Amino acid sequence: MKETSYKAEDITVLKDLQAVRKRPSMYIGDVGVRGLHHLVYEVVDNSIDEALTGNCNWIKVIVHKEGISIEDNGRGIPVDVHPDEKKPAVEVVLTILHAGGKFDHKTYQVSGGLHGVGVSVVNALSEYLIVEVRRDGKVYRQKFERGRKASELEIIGEDEKTGTKITFLPDKEIFDSTNFDFEILVSRLRELAFLNKNVKIELIDERTGSEKSFFYEGGLSSFVKYLNKGKEVLHDIVYFSTKKDSLEIEIAFQYNDSYRESVFSFCNTINTVEGGTHESGFKSAVTRAFNDYAKKNKESVKLSGEDVREGLTAIISLKIPDPQFEGQTKTKLGNSEIKGIVDSIVYEKLNNFMEENPKIAKIVVGKAINALKAREAARKARELIRRKGVLSSGSLPGKLVDCQEKDPGKSELYLVEGDSAAGTGVSARDKKIQAILPLRGKILNVEKSRLSKIFKSEEIIKLITVLGCSIGDEFDISKLRYHKIVILTDADSDGNHISCLLLTFFYRYMPELIQNGYIYVAQPPLFKVIKNKKSIYVRDEKSLKKLLDEIGVDKIVTQRFKGLGEMDSDELEETVMNKEKRILKQVTIEDAVKADEMFSVLMGDQVEPRREFIQAHAKEVKNLDI
């Protein structure tokens, strides 16, 4: 490991800690599941930043029955007195917003945490936080409560090892729930292990005894292999890395025989879900290189980016000193100079690869040409449909019961399973703002279909027409007719399957709707409990048991709904349509990698990965309709 200076004077203070507790969502996005886990990521990212300097190769995360701890073998946060603040540097880092060693590029050349909210916000939003630092042969400890110092920094032992351990308990006064989700943590920590091939990351859940360990010598190549599990690949994984001045880029990619592209980009280990200049540079280089190669080989075609990325699985990992992220959640890279640099590097590397591997190049270019032909077939199918007047905004499907409101920002569209439930929904809705579109049965599984086949599906064409924003290269989100699209299906296995098919369609062909927060899944109740002439609706058996424990089982009537069709308009209005009482689950692409993997496993062609998933999770099933 590299030895570099890291003392109190390296800690830069920008300004005092603000009232984070009063407006927590400004700093962590929300106070739900996402915000809760964001606390963990902020602490883990600090350990990863130590790894990026070459001073850490081990991180352990332990979920306790109450709270969580993150430990690393980095250099340890400095404990000497800060020259300006006149207090230990570790206390400065934990109590002052934007205080750290990441602002001058001396201590950290690159950092994923630079634009994060910092560990001081984790401290502010915790009932308590305990920091232990091992450095200079000693073990230091200090405790904080709700962001305020609860004890002085003290020496509690001796140890020649170095590192930092932070243990905290999220504040129940702040968060909707303080229950950490093991699978969410697994997903992010696995991702970090892929991106940092020299780092071992351990995860232990003391609540259940579950343990996971992540260490991938192959780095990004292992990441691509993981994503392509269960798919028919067309060649070995291609990997290259290069440095240019202070920029470092790693790329791994591999084509498979599917019709989907899975391109994921990262900057300083931050998952840039919305892409950015590094991803744009990569995509433009791939398109240019493929077209040049096709031209050299006498192929008179003009391939689009969509054509050349069909079946492509790629990971782009960029490390730069001054990333400019757009938005507090750091989901898009904005550095304008990066696009040209990445484009140049990728174009040169890809050209060399295709010249040195003509057999692979021929296979992949051939697949892109087939995609072009399929795209042309889809265009013709679209034109045929348009000539029939189906896709024009003036000819909405007859089964749509539209709302009176014309402002998309105030309009809601309910996608309802079956005509019967849709009829009840029409009676239950607020006709001013709520539209109803009944869907017949299960729509086409688009995971296994090209766009040309999708245009032959009546139910999907009906859906595209109603939404108004088109699809593919004609997609225009500004023409979307509803900014709240609610999937409403029965609370059983068939209903869940229909929801999954719809979500697959939106994720694969209209991801912008999810990214903009327009897609929701209604949470219809499975049970109705009546006591003292008062009706209480509950979503599942777990909630029912909890309710019965609270109100008792004497003089109650419990009704189980087999489907939406069994609910009358008053029940449907009260539970899923009334804006004051309903529960809607907003769909996000917070973890695009996990989403892509799940859609491929559950909806793809390969049976074996689906069987493995079912076998692994069978014991977790609480309700199975047969």
Give yes or no: residues 581 and 548 share one domain.
Answer: no
Query: E strands of 118-235, at which residues?
Result: 126-135, 138-145, 148-149, 154-158, 163-170, 200-205, 210-214
Would 514 be classed as within a structural domain?
Answer: yes
Structure tokens at 538: 């509950």
Give yes or no: residues 356 and 416 share one domain.
Answer: no
Would 566 be classed as within a structural domain?
Answer: no
Give yes or no: residues 582 and 468 share one domain.
Answer: yes
- Please state which of the ranges 49-63, 354-368, 373-387, 430-444 shows the lowest mean pLDDT: 373-387
Give yes or no: residues 165 and 224 share one domain.
Answer: no
**What does the pLDDT read at residue 519?**
92
Q: Which of 360, 379, 398 is the last residue of a domain?
A: 379
Q: Would you say the C-alpha torsion 23, 27, 30, 36 has a positive or negative sign?
A: negative
Q: Look-up: residue for tokens 């749509």?
A: 400
Give yes or no: residues 460 and 514 share one domain.
Answer: yes
| DSSP character at residue 575 | I
In whole angstroms, what is the distance from residue 39 CA to residue 26 CA? 13
| Region 590-601 average pLDDT | 64
Q: What is the CATH number of the domain that holds 452?
A: 3.40.50.670
Is 90 exceeded by the pLDDT of residue 62?
yes
Side chain identity at residue 601, one-letter code: V
Give the other-Cβ count within 10 Å of 547's Cβ. Answer: 18
Structure tokens at 622: 């609480």
Q: Which of 379, 403, 420 is the last residue of a domain?
A: 379
**What does the pLDDT read at residue 472?**
79
Q: What is the CATH number of the domain that holds 129?
A: 3.30.565.10
Side chain identity at residue 498, one-letter code: I
Structure tokens at 253: 């990619």
Structure tokens at 374: 């399929």
Number of domain units in the chain: 4
Give yes or no: residues 596 and 536 share one domain.
Answer: no
**What does the pLDDT read at residue 14?**
45
Q: If you compute the radius of gyration of the chain from its CA atoms, what whole number of angstroms results?
A: 27
Which DSSP string corresponds to 304-342?
-HHHHTTTEEEEEEEE-SS--BSTTTT-SB--HHHHHHH
In whole angstroms, what is the distance from residue 115 CA to residue 351 CA? 35
Coil/strand/helix, residue 371: helix
In whole angstroms, what is the distance from residue 596 CA to residue 611 CA? 17
Would 73 be classed as within a structural domain?
Answer: yes
Give yes or no: residues 575 and 505 share one domain.
Answer: yes
Taking the model in full, what pTM does it have? 0.75
Give yes or no: residues 367 and 224 share one domain.
Answer: yes
Is 50 exceeded by the pLDDT of residue 116?
no
Is 90 exceeded by the pLDDT of residue 501?
no
383 to 142, 151, 425, 452: CA distances (angstroms): 69, 72, 34, 11
Give yes or no: residues 361 and 424 share one domain.
Answer: no
DSSP β-ladder status, 154-158 and 138-145: antiparallel
Q: Would you say the C-alpha torsion 542, 544, 547, 552 has a positive or negative sign?
A: negative
Coil/strand/helix, residue 132: strand
| Region 256-285 average pLDDT | 92
Would 626 be classed as within a structural domain?
Answer: no
Q: How high does pLDDT run on average in the chain?
A: 86
Side chain identity at residue 130, one-letter code: I
Question: Which uninterrupted H or E stretch holds 466?
Answer: helix 458-467
Coil/strand/helix, residue 536: strand
**What does the pLDDT read at residue 625?**
36
Structure tokens at 324: 């400019």
% of the chain exceeding 70 in pLDDT: 86
**What does the pLDDT read at residue 499?**
86
Would 554 be classed as within a structural domain?
Answer: yes
Give yes or no: residues 133 and 238 share one domain.
Answer: no
**What does the pLDDT read at residue 391?**
53
**What does the pLDDT read at residue 587?**
85
Contacts of 227 (CB under 8 A, 6+ apart): 262, 313, 315, 593, 596, 597, 600
**What does the pLDDT read at residue 107?**
54
Q: What is the pLDDT of residues 131-143, one digit of tens each?
A: 999 999 999 999 9
**What does the pLDDT read at residue 159?**
95
Give yes or no: residues 203 and 229 share one domain.
Answer: no
Question: Among 221, 219, 197, 212, which residue's Cα sits nearest to residue 54?
Answer: 197
Q: What is the pLDDT of residues 227-265, one digit of tens each?
A: 998 788 999 999 999 998 888 999 999 999 888 899 999
Would 625 be classed as within a structural domain?
Answer: no
Structure tokens at 587: 């769909």
Q: What is the largest CA-CA distance in the chain?
A: 82
In whole angstroms, what is the distance from residue 588 CA to residue 35 CA? 13
Residue length of the chain: 626
Would 3 be classed as within a structural domain?
Answer: no
Instruction: Give me the domain span that covers residue 532.
Output: 527-560
**What does the pLDDT read at residue 110?**
58
Would 1 be classed as within a structural domain?
Answer: no
List the Cα angle 511/514/519 in 5-degree steps. 130
| Active site residue ranges | 417, 490, 492, 494
The pLDDT confidence band at residue 387, using thresholds 50, 70 and 90, is: low
Q: Which of 379, 397, 414 is the last residue of a domain?
A: 379
Expressed in angstroms, the distance from the first to the final Cα of the chain is: 57
With helix as H, strand as E and coil as C, how does 212-233 read?
Answer: EEECCCCCHHHHHHHHCCCCCE
Give yes or no: residues 87 and 38 share one domain.
Answer: yes
